[in-house]
Structure 1
């Protein structure tokens, strides 16, 4: 009996008018976005979209692709070679305007015209100019443009040649453009322009539209990344996909599986996660490569080869579309029986001369150089030349598809076995390699390979469960990555979303962190004490972070350093026309189409919606949560020494750094927590909690009786202490019990309830260093709360100090106003002598402060370039190579480090930075390589034998890092100045 193939989607009615689509879907979505109606915005979106889908099914048919590709142009694989400038010039040419006319110049600067009363889309501005000069086309019913016709026009635009034949002049003269301009109404033209510019016509309602068409559409799209494939397979909402149908296909890019980041230093728990919970006897250990994640789709025995990034970007033009061209494809040698396959791996840059991996940021540049240098597969003969010593290298580590059969449900060990059988890399060419792996069984194996990563100057290691399946678009416990924890680095580099910008002496971008649905929205000062043992993450430190949808963003820092002119121009191009004036058009929390944007007291001059913004990879020295920074940003803290490394084009607003990740990283990297300390459990029963309180009262009475009084400093004063105190500068914690003991020692009295007579209120001091429930309750009742630091400083100065802002944890406006009169604008006290610690805090608080520019618009540029105490937190060990003959170079480097505040130490274990002085001629001799390897081996040996000697692993840099930091007036990323 012959099998009957299932028919695909079909429409039983002619293609509807494009104007109908604009009126029934696009316009109504825009109206909801701008409406002030009280009914929930989300429900109104859902009603409009569901009603449209219902009409399409009942009046047109089951083929939804013609609509979906227009409604989601950002998902359309067609490229129309149409940017903002191209569209503006085409419109002006159509209107017969002079290229130097004021109208064209005004349109080219259209982003500056965006305000609270105008449109924020270029399409609307262009249509407005057209309407002033031309009548709207009068098209009768028979001549209306259908949805299919619009798609045909878009196909023709996508097939147009590139310049010069495809320039603006030829476009405007073409019959295609004339039809577009003469047959579309103003409304249709507006959305047509949006589509060719790939603007998100549906705004944030992409998933709503996909789900309305079919419940599995969103998940299936994440696997195939192709709207046509989605609509061909999913057209009947009653027929749901089976688990095995969410699988990979050749030439359809997918979101790869990613490694889960573990911030805990407890390797025992990682081993338990890989072995005990998974029931395995061993795990795989792989080196973490510093490159770009790529998937290779090999088909038709190598006649077609595609390269896709983790976000589905096609980079085939860089690496070769078949086995006869490009810097990679000619060297992709597979078993002759392999007709098609999908390889997962990392594309890195490799230097043959030094036999080393080059930094991540130049991967595409190296690939482009290799592509431009090669016109035939024989160009590998030029590898020995000096200019072509570096080239791209693909490190394959997984095989996901083989001869029309998906392998994602096979265990990892079997996929690796097949990979080694079908892929035949040639080590002589160094273009394709299989990433080797080792077996691990215990904590010692992890430490050993992590030490090896340090010796090899590698990114770290990845631990994998050999029995695990491959799960696209996921992070789970089967892949865990561990990076060497360098002293100066705050976890991994943070990918922050740009939320605002200011143009003053130096352009700066305000960046933020994402809030997820399960993340509590911070309030100013609510996470000032980020180094406390956060019970929310302590209970189960190894569990996944919340993966619910993003509901908002909070401001975190301002970044100006590290952004080159080219990157600045690129950011401007990517965000042109998307900025809003904060004063005239502030973000509205009530507009649910916009995710919540929350700023502190520091507001940008212009803000941008995260969905229209860019992600920057930021590195910083540390977190600054001093009192002066509490209210500046919505997180209650900011970054100290923030520096932009690069623009993350592979990420968007939905994949940037989250508050949950931030809180988790701060918890596991807090100075008070030792490596083997287990955080307190978050969940306790009521009885245990009650017993703990009773015991505390008992201990407190005992404390009052046993503590000897040493002075009468606090005589007649009562203190109610709520919490511990953590000093972010010294990274030390003073417990609540210690503070109580200090009070009693100085003659004060500790109370354990607030049943106080009114005439005794002036004798009571409420003390707290964190915003816990009890503290918030007392604040709501009108109590003033002081910082524990006031007690400590009173003891230090041996007198009762007047209240200043640094001692006011949360007080009334009147009291804070009085406290501020006792300090100068920089926080220096008029009444109390300054000490070394206070001076350091004042310097840190004001060193990176940003002030409004003077009315003249001019500041003292010379003063702004002085790097005060640039290396103040650095303990540097300087090692000169035995082959160095120019001793002056090492002495000069040491002098510079000391001049800018650095401390030179004599032991590696005391350092947090290693500077290795290379030969003066920069030649990489065998002796110098031996010196480099010796340094890394010493660090690795300490890490494995006696890790307590190192808080973390110091970086090894060249002297050029010192010069670059002084030039940039900020400590630049060390990994950009490695010793090869």
Structure 2
């Protein structure tokens, strides 16, 4: 379908508007004209910005407050002569249609300037502003020159807290709170005179302004030319939080019947407005499908609060075909990849990457196979079948840790991609991995109308996996609901996101949530948690409809009396978890009733550490907005999916997916769960853990709950093998957490290590907790070990120490109550401040001061001792030759006599063959450099044509540099060119310095 051509008559102001809004965006005016030669041009200037408020935003917002549903529809039909009034749905359509009609008649057919302000969250052409409520609040405080500690300043910067004089409806509504402050000190009281085109121009400038200093002048213009109402809606546009009571589907459909269809396949408001100018001209069939290098709106998974059987039944199985697929839900970013053959690109293939929200990530993952910044594409030379000319893939971009061979949480994805750009073949750091689960387009044909089963066959024939970089996501074929339970239990044990159930008979439906794809997350399930009765110690204010009220709470564990320091308050609690789900209106009302007038604002400068202790020290992790004394608070019963380690809460552990069940008014702070009670409960449940069936939690009311078993992460590896040997009390009173098997002799499984510890008097925990003084045992960098090492808070001890400690205990029973101290050989990871102390437990050769060393270990120590003197009869030349060949393994690079071994150096620009007394200052310097190279076992080459040259050493500013580069440019291995200073400085420092820092200029 072709675009409607621009009208012939265009007034001067319309041209000015066009230049304003299209001359400062990501594309220049010339680029726009070339890309969209037939784009519509408005024949008059755009409407004033305040017309959006008067004609659209305010009427729609007021209409939103009217009741909807069957009762409203019924009332609309009463009356002897037809409806007495229209339903809110009809009124909404009339408001939008009236505005669109006015735009067409008074402005023209280019609706894009208005639409990108009406639904800014769908505008992909304007970059993100990088502005959040806090930053805008600071800008307004500076703009109006008010004290940040004044009532208005405080309320702008703490917008979630109830204001001292504001109406409660404004709490949690940042734009509304801005209106209250701005209306007290406006630059103008009447509507402003800014046109929509001018607003778009300034918003483009705002999106490209790097810092607050550059953003402030732009806000100053808005402030000078808009009243408080206009500024309130402008802030909502910037924050992309409109909520006017009409969805983008409604606006797009009322602009053109095919508006939503084109947006789903292009994610472009610009295309919708510029290609669909006449509602009577419809899209043709080939224009409604996905196209290459045009970001589409992907199909999404539906969440179902039904039984597993209901979920499977909703996939419309037949007696002949009952199959459904189960995939692991990945914790990453939804990503679509487009690939097309293009001979103009190095490598012959051009790529594009877009997120679910249509953000272009091609700069990060690569535009071509030879793209040096391509964190993904540079690894795809052999990833596609030879018959593939172009395709579109749908999948998830995740972060993969190759050392632990595990998926890393989503928040690290961009960091991993940037690291991969800088060092693509390092092999040991986290990297992006694209997991593909669907193919949408292949060799010029959209595949959305084919079944998932057929699309999957095509995908598997097109793609060759690139290990841990580019892989087809696996699935499990199932025919009954019994297959779901073990897989869900497995992903919960591995702390994964959950599952997705898919219908293999389904087509791909753009921008749709339906029963063909259904997600099942562990937090939606029952049977995974025991109800824990914890005390509320803090609260957090909500936003939106929960604005101005406490919507979530910080819960703590009571510190046991034996852990209370002398003189400390006995009510002290440690932060444990936050909970905000599961509350009903009456639950909030009950909590509010029992705690009214007892909340205190949290002052970061004077935290109530005598009563409430947070994690992070002065950083105060998970700091609440308000706090309450435990004796004034209430106890809540909370259920969780599992327990996991956390640095964000003082206990060192937290609950995964906590949900409120009910208030425990029969308990007070003194009978709420304490730290030791929780540890004992956790330990007992790990010991008594058994398989239980579970179902989906469909209950809406907080019914009377029975105690459910608490799943603690890691209890699936519970010890079952008996300890084959006699026991002792060597580990009496000690707590252990075993995270991996012993990989070195004596090799033992995780279960056998746990039984060994128990037989010698130790206690086992499945999660490390600082509160219980746990000794963490591991020989491999598994997930939890990697997490502990990253935190840097806890030692990780090798299993070898267990055997050494018990053996020494049996040898020397007289040293009662003492254990073998940790030695360097015992440590898998040592926290920084203990490295020196542990090193002091052995002598300089590694011989232990605290235990008897056996013959085998003594031989190891002797073998590792450095040979300080050479015996007689040693052939020096033979020894040097042997050492030169092994300098890498023996670490001899730091010895000056081996520093430049294996180097073949050519020194440019000096005259050999003269006597030393005849040499000039520069030539003498070159001679000294040559001597240093030779002494460091480098070979000095006299002919530049020699192909073995690895380094060319030049004087800074040498005039032959250009010709030297031309001579070596054709070589397969190009030598490094460095200055004389590189050799001199390396010699002086006694180690090879970075060659890049000594590259000659010019």
TM-score by length of 1: 0.49
| Greater RCO (CA < 8 Å, at least 6 residues apart) | 1
